[in-house]
Chains A and B, each alone.
Chain A
Amino acid sequence: KAGVTQTPRYLIKTRGQQVTLSCSPISGHRSVSWYQQTPGQGLQFLFEYFSETQRNKGNFPGRFSGRQFSNSRSEMNVSTLELGDSALYLCASSLQPSAKNIQYFGAGTRLSVL
């Protein structure tokens, strides 16, 4: 079956712009989590969605937001982009929002802010 699909794969934006990233989970998976990966900070948890509700949120400013649709697809939005937002944004899906379920990661969206 198809894996986690993230679009676009690469994105270049300028400071002050906003961006929307998309994640399509594995069919049947209802939990979606987002992570930011940078060389300096590694992988950091952004937020987790299940049944269209945000269950957990990491320590990121309000410029980072997300949502989940009824078909479990998820989007994350970053407004007023800053240079430090340049990163690989990863989405992971699992059957349920439980640490006992395997998380499957997409290949990520590489965002560059100029």
Chain B
Amino acid sequence: TQLLEQSPQFLSIQEGENLTVYCNSSSVFSSLQWYRQEPGEGPVLLVTVVTGGEVKKLKRLTFQFGDARKDSSLHITAAQPGDTGLYLCAGARGTGNQFYFGTGTSLTVIP
């Protein structure tokens, strides 16, 4: 059983559309990260959120950490083909480097 569930699992959209990916758990996390992984590569960190209710923006990407620090969302505005990849959320329950990864959302943006 995965500690973090992501939805949707697969997403295929047209260029220019908006989308939201959800990361949910019944557990509380001290911090939560979002990664993007492209084929043949390791995950690359996009953002870290640590405070309940925190919102961070990275160009067209908006990340939110739930008030109770159990869930998070990633919103992409005006998706581009370069956004294609596997999006992973990962939560830490302490201060160490042991992260629990979500099930992943595979995003395809069609030109």
Within 8 A of A (CB), among B12-39: 30-31
Q: Does A107 belong to the interface (CB within 8 Å)?
A: yes
Bound form: Cα–Cα A99–B69 in Å: 15
Q: Residues of A contacting B95 with CB < 8 Å?
A: 98-100
- Chain B, interface SS category: loop
Report yes or no: B97 in contact with A56, Cβ–Cβ below 8 A.
yes
Bound form: Cα–Cα A106–B40 in Å: 10
Within 8 A of B (CB), among A42-93: 42-45, 48, 55-56, 58, 90, 92
Bound form: Cα–Cα A96–B103 in Å: 26
A42-B103, A48-B96 are contacts. A99–B30 as well, Cβ < 8 Å?
yes
Q: Does A20 belong to the interface (CB within 8 Å)?
A: no
Q: Does A26 belong to the interface (CB within 8 Å)?
A: no
Report yes or no: B45 in contact with A103, Cβ–Cβ below 8 A.
yes
Question: Distance in Å from the Cβ of B104 to the closest Cβ of chain A?
Answer: 6
A42-B103, A44-B101 are contacts. A98–B96 as well, Cβ < 8 Å?
yes
Q: Residues of B contacting A21 with CB < 8 Å?
A: none
Report yes or no: B43 in contact with A48, Cβ–Cβ below 8 A.
no
Report yes or no: A99 in contact with B99, Cβ–Cβ below 8 A.
yes
A4-B42, A43-B88 are contacts. A103–B97 as well, Cβ < 8 Å?
yes
Q: Does A33 belong to the interface (CB within 8 Å)?
A: yes
A90-B42, A105-B44, A107-B41 are contacts. A55–B96 as well, Cβ < 8 Å?
yes
Residue of A nearest to B41 (CB): A107
Q: Residues of A contacting B104 with CB < 8 Å?
A: 42-43
Q: Which residue of B42, B92, B103 is within 8 Å of A107 (Cβ)?
A: B42
Report yes or no: A42 in contact with B101, Cβ–Cβ below 8 A.
yes
Give 10 new A-B contacts, CB below 8 A, not counting A45-B100, A56-B98, A105-B43.
Answer: A42-B2, A42-B101, A58-B98, A97-B97, A98-B97, A99-B30, A99-B97, A99-B99, A107-B40, A107-B41
12 A-B contact pairs sorted by A residue (CB < 8 Å): A31-B97, A33-B98, A42-B88, A42-B104, A58-B98, A92-B42, A94-B97, A99-B30, A99-B92, A103-B45, A103-B97, A106-B42
